[in-house]
Copies of this chain bind each other. A is one copy, B any other.
Amino acid sequence: MVTIALAQLKGVLFNKNLNVHRILATIQTCKEKNVDYVLFPELFLTGFFIQHEIEALAEPVDGESIRIIQEKVKETGVGTILGFAERYENRYYNSAVFIEKDGSIKGVYRKIHLFDKEKEFFTPGEEFPVFHTEVGNIALMMTFDVEFPEMSRIYAMHGVELIMVLNAHNVPYQPHQGIFLQARALENQVFMAATNKVGLEGSTLFFGESAVISPEGHFIEKGGNNEEIIIASIQLSDVYKVREEQLMKYLENRKGELYSKHGLV
């Protein structure tokens, strides 16, 4: 079993110090609740609409904020997945760092499908990293990524059992979040766990409704529209039980050659 926490929090725009403080406190809370991994929303370290402040706020994965958080992770043993603006090779990425329970950096995911104006500030990622942990295979994505079925499919084909989603989804897209999370879980027979932001940033209202969804498409947990920490214990190997027991063997029944022949990619 792995116990995951979805840190459905607000965060303060442009204020990394306050957000780091909140992250450390949340990790402490998670330790008290025996959480293995805690997942924060997209760009939680800085707030979402950082735009022209990106140069001042972005940091490399070995930057100061993440080093402070690594220390707390090492102390508590609560693995942490955090959205931040990354400076890497003189470019900026909308990234998520995966900090293992021992405080080491397991890797970084750089958002592949940038939404609308995000393209003005960020470079799109090009990798689909899979994080092999002692509890199973985990991969990351963010908000708009979930709306492209190709991406979850690639992860499932690469052995991913749990897709963690760092969201920054605003009103009125609640149906999009719910439908797509369920569809991705169902069609790939994987667990989905998504943490969304809550509250206002400027005139944008983030709606929460963070969720953990089973490989059969059921909501195991679903948050409301305000701050909360949602905790769920799941068994990642259930993915194989579902694939074994159910007649809809999606990965086996794909027609890759046919899709290719008819121009899917």
Contact = CB atoms under 8 A, between A and B. Distances in A.
Contacts of A265: 256-257, 259-260, 264-265
Given A113-B253, A179-B182, A180-B187, A153 B247 contact: no
A158 B116 CA distance: 24
A126 interface: yes
A157 interface: yes
Nearest to A250: B147
Contacts of A151: 259
A112 B256 CA distance: 12
Interface residues of A, number: 41
A242 to B, nearest CB: 13
A224 interface: no
B257 A144 contact: no
Interface in A157-198: 157-158, 175-176, 179-180, 182-183, 186-187
Contact of A147 (B144, B187, B257): B187
